């Protein structure tokens, strides 16, 4: 044993594991430490089913893999290393075919692949891939093929996933192409390494050490993203800092771009609208000023001279204090088109965020819900072709449940891209188990009726509804420098689900959960079934114990941590929870019908109709659109007050059920991650009860109704809950 630990001190843990597997040493003979989660879903441990192992070994006896490019070299090494681990077998790359061989490449590297794609997969598009078994020259081949090198890498990861999840590979005919072109992670990371709405430690980008020091984490980040099809990263916060556009920082960005390029990942930056003034010596940033336009053209030329595949800019303008074109009396169209013209010669794009409201003016009246639609729809068709309008999934701000934004479908002549929030700003932050795929799917599956029935949000985003030539989907990252990347082990599932749905939004939330569990925890049937049930119930649980029946934006102002429905002292009306729930002696909810703000008018008639009547409205969205009485009769016969209290209790009960489910897996999950999740579930239970108690007590001051039987009674007073302060809640980092 001492000799073994000397080896482990000499090599990386992953290398030692592979050495032990290839030489036939059983892992079970060692006292291994529990897993810390760093490997994410890329755990290529030896397949523990003897029959399956023998089948896989026989099917992949050798590899023939060309390596004329950095990307194909990455793909080949990934396949050799990871197959070696999975199959406990040393893999080598041959130059000629043999029986039961794996052949990978593009039409330019293999005539067999050229014939296969032209004859059997003529519709394979873009960076899509094929995994196919066939007989050729009397030999049984397993082929991974694509038209592009990055497509081959995607196919390699997909094939490894089949083995990880114990799928049959004897007869394969699989093809997959991305439905959305730009699949991007947005990091709200500052140059100071703070992360706005980040709950997993500091930023992974160590700007001080770049470009000289390349952290292994950057490479593993690229591997993880490529494995799920993510092909872009915005490395800086939307609350932007102009310093990142200076020569010193562009050299640092270049180093990251060089790392990511073989993995098919483009780097993007956030552009602060005032950069020509901040770092350029100009006296204005007016987008119609020729000197300003020339400054941005020169800056783009500089960036592309360093990073030839630079993706473009993400811009937050005239929102929450950020400068923008309206600062100079110009429009969003003027601002976006200025950037577009500077980027167009290089093939870059502009992602112009539709989350717009100026903190200097009370633009919320009469309803902040309506503002993005009001400001952008007049310019439909007037943006340059390389402009994408980036729209949050809902009209307010990443709430646990929102109706889809009315901008989806309202701009048929303009590419509109989705912005989801992976980081759990409003979903329990870093300690609550909340699987977000059901939320993502709920939005994607919503029908906008913008081009007739079936014009779902998904079809708006993938371009098929209006034949948009440019498509995109962004997710606000939940990644930090915590060892396991996301702090909560189940936060990894949301990163994974985002990538999978950006590639193929037709996948089900349950299918993605099953796949992630098998790669991340275990293929054991009991473990998979139990964890999948927990994940599928978790989003509805958090909605119920935080914002049931259409409540929204009722969190505390202290980092959005915890409940604060009573808050009413913010500088702007629409920063206060009372603005949204509007509780009074009569009832509760925001009237967005014709008798209220009439925000419903921004939707197509068929959509309006489903939410127009409080008696037929989807009760999950009831308070988004109606101010109803505390005695309003619900569909199940209960009065609204009782239903509200019971929903809060249901959320708490689901968390307690999740605790029991997790404990039933004792011995099936490694000790370190099992203990970590157990402790987080304990926190989640206490905080669910806190939300229930505080909200019910507060709303009871208006309803004057008793808490119904079966609902837990608060153990503190309302004044106690109001007195709680959390000035150092995580995730409040802001840019300098």
Asked whether residue 735 carries a pLDDT value surpassing 80, the answer given is no
Over range 92-111, report the average pLDDT.
94
* Separation between Cα atoms, residue 507 and residue 437, nearest integer Å: 10
Over range 685-693, report the average pLDDT.
98
Domain ranges across the chain: 1-32, 33-176, 182-243+318-509, 545-590+627-723
User: What integer pLDDT is reported at residue 557 of this predicted model?
Assistant: 87
Over range 33-50, report the average pLDDT.
92
- Answer positive or negative: Cα dihedral of 51, 52, 53, 54: positive
Please tell me whether the overall predicted TM-score, pTM, comes out greater than 0.85 for this model. Answer: yes
User: What integer pLDDT is reported at residue 365 of this predicted model?
Assistant: 58
Exposed e or buried b for every residue in 348-377, given b needs 16+ CB within 10 A? bbbbbbbbbbbeeeebbeebbbbbbbebbe
DSSP 461-525: HTSTTTT-S--EEEEE----SSTTSSSSTTHHHHHHHHHHHHH-TTS-HHHHHHHHHHHHT---H
* Separation between Cα atoms, residue 235 and residue 310, nearest integer Å: 12
Cβ atoms of 736 and 241 within 8 Å: the answer is yes
Homologous superfamily (CATH) for 33-176: Chitobiase/beta-hexosaminidase domain 2-like (3.30.379.10)
Report residue 17's pLDDT band, with 50, 70 and 90 as the boundaries: very low
Exposed e or buried b for every residue in 394-404, given b needs 16+ CB within 10 A? bbbbbbbbbbb
User: What integer pLDDT is reported at residue 270 of this predicted model?
Assistant: 98
Asked whether residue 322 carries a pLDDT value surpassing 50, the answer given is yes
Average pLDDT over the chain, rounded to whole?
A: 93
CB atoms within 10 A of CB 68: 12
Spatial CB neighbours of 724, under 8 Å, sequence gap ≥ 6 = 556, 562
Q: Active-site residues: which are they?
A: 320, 397, 425
CB atoms within 10 A of CB 96: 7
Over range 338-366, report the average pLDDT.
84
CATH code, residues 545-590+627-723: 3.90.1330.10
* Separation between Cα atoms, residue 217 and residue 256, nearest integer Å: 11
pLDDT tens per residue across span 614-668? 999 999 999 999 999 999 999 999 999 999 999 999 999 999 999 999 999 999 9
Spatial CB neighbours of 269, under 8 Å, sequence gap ≥ 6 = 234, 235, 236, 244, 245, 253, 303, 310, 313, 314
| Residue % of the chain over a pLDDT of 90 | 90
Burial of 23 per CB tally in 10 Å (0-12, 13-18, 19+): exposed
Can you tell me whether residue 258 is helix, strand or coil? helix
| Residue % of the chain over a pLDDT of 70 | 94
Question: Which residue, chain included where needed, has tokens 């309506």?
Answer: 370
Asked whether residue 1 carries a pLDDT value surpassing 80, the answer given is no
Which carries the bigger pLDDT value, residue 6 or residue 318?
318
CATH fold for the domain made of 182-243+318-509: TIM Barrel (3.20.20)
* Separation between Cα atoms, residue 265 and residue 220, nearest integer Å: 13
What is the helix, strand, coil percentage profile of the chain, to 5?
Answer: 45, 10, 45
pLDDT tens per residue across span 199-251? 999 999 999 999 999 999 999 999 999 999 999 999 999 999 999 999 999 99
User: What integer pLDDT is reported at residue 733 of this predicted model?
Assistant: 65
Over range 410-423, report the average pLDDT.
98
Spatial CB neighbours of 414, under 8 Å, sequence gap ≥ 6 = 379, 380, 381, 383, 387, 389
Cα 281 versus chain centre, distance: 37
User: What integer pLDDT is reported at residue 137 of this predicted model?
Assistant: 82
User: What integer pLDDT is reported at residue 6 of this predicted model?
Assistant: 34
User: What integer pLDDT is reported at residue 358 of this predicted model?
Assistant: 67
pLDDT tens per residue across span 183-212? 999 999 999 999 999 999 999 999 999 999
Cα 557 versus chain centre, distance: 24
pLDDT tens per residue across span 256-281? 999 999 999 999 999 999 999 999 99
Cβ atoms of 211 and 259 within 8 Å: the answer is no
Cβ atoms of 623 and 589 within 8 Å: the answer is yes
Backbone angles phi, psi at 564, to 5 degrees: -155, 50
Report residue 734's pLDDT band, with 50, 70 and 90 as the boundaries: low
The beta-strand segments (E) located in 231-294 are 232-234, 266-270
């Amino acid at each position: 044993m001492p000799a073994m630990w000397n080896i482990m001190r000499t090599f990386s843990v992953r290398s030692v594991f592979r050495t032990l597997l290839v030489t036939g040493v059983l892992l079970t003979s060692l006292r291994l430490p529990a897993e810390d989660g760093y490997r994410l879903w890329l755990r290529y441990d030896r397949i523990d089913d003897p029959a399956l192992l023998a089948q896989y070994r026989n099917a992949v006896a050798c590899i023939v893999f060309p390596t004329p490019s950095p990307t194909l070299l990455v793909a080949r090494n990934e396949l050799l290393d990871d197959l070696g681990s999975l199959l406990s077998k040393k893999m080598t790359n041959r130059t000629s075919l043999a029986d039961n061989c794996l052949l990978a490449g593009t039409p330019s590297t293999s005539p067999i692949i050229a014939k296969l794609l032209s004859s059997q997969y003529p519709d394979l598009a873009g960076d899509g891939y094929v995994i196919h078994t066939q007989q050729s020259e009397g030999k049984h081949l397993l082929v991974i093929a694509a038209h592009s090198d990055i497509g081959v890498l995607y196919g390699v990861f997909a094939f490894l996933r089949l083995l990880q999840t114990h799928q049959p590979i004897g007869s394969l005919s699989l093809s997959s192409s991305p439905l959305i072109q730009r699949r991007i992670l947005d990091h709200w990371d500052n140059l100071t390494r703070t992360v706005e709405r980040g709950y997993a430690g500091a930023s992974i980008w160590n700007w001080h050490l770049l470009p000289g020091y390349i952290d292994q984490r950057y490479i593993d980040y690229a591997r993880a993203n490529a494995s799920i099809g993510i092909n872009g990263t915005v490395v800086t916060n939307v609350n932007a800092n102009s310093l990142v556009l200076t020569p010193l920082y562009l050299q640092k960005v270049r180093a990251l771009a060089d790392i990511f390029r073989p993995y098919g990942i483009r780097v993007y930056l956030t552009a602060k609208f005032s950069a020509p003034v901040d770092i350029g010596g100009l006296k204005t940033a007016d987008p119609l000023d020729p000197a300003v336009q020339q400054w941005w053209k020169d800056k783009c030329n500089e960036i592309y001279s360093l990073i030839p595949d630079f993706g473009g800019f993400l811009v937050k303008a005239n929102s929450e204090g950020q400068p923008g074109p309206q600062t100079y009396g110009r429009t969003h169209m003027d601002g976006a088109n200025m950037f577009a013209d500077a980027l167009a010669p290089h093939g870059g794009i502009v992602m112009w965020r539709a989350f717009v409201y100026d903190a200097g003016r009370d633009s919320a009246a009469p309803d902040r819900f309506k503002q993005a639609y009001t400001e952008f729809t007049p310019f439909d068709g007037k943006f340059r072709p390389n402009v994408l309008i980036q729209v949050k999934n809902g009209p307010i701000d990443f709430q646990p449940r929102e109706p889809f934004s009315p901008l989806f479908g309202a701009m048929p002549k303009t590419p509109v891209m989705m912005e989801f929030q992976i980081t759990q700003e409003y979903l329990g932050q870093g300690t609550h188990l909340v699987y977000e795929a059901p939320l993502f799917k709920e939005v994607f599956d919503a029908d906008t009726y913008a081009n007739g029935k079936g014009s779902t949000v998904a079809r708006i985003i993938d371009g098929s509804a209006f034949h948009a030539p440019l498509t995109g989907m962004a997710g606000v990252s939940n990644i930090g420098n915590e060892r396991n990347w996301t702090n909560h082990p189940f936060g990894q599932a949301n990163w994974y689900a985002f990538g999978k749905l950006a590639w193929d939004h037709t996948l089900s939330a349950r299918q993605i959960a099953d796949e992630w569990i098998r790669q991340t925890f275990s293929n054991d049937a009991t473990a998979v079934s139990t964890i999948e049930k927990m994940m599928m119930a978790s989003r509805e649980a958090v909605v119920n114990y935080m914002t049931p029946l259409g409540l929204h934006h009722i969190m505390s102002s202290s980092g959005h941590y915890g409940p604060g429905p009573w808050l009413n002292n913010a500088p702007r009306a629409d920063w206060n929870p009372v603005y949204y729930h509007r509780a009074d002696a009569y009832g509760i909810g925001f009237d967005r019908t014709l008798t209220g703000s009439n925000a419903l008018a921004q939707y197509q008639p068929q959509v309006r109709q489903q939410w127009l009547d409080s008696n037929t409205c989807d009760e999950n969205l009831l308070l988004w659109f109606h101010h109803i009485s505390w005695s309003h009769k619900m569909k199940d016969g209960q009065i609204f007050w009782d239903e509200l209290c019971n929903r809060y209790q249901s959320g708490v009960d689901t968390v307690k059920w999740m605790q029991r489910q997790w404990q039933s897996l004792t011995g099936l999950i490694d000790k370190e991650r099992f203990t970590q999740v157990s402790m987080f579930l304990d926190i989640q239970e206490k905080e669910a009860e806190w939300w229930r108690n505080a909200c019910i007590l507060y709303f009871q001051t208006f309803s004057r109704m008793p808490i119904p039987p079966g609902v837990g009674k608060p153990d503190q007073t309302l004044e106690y809950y109001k007195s709680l302060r959390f000035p150092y809640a995580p995730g409040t980092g802001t840019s300098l």
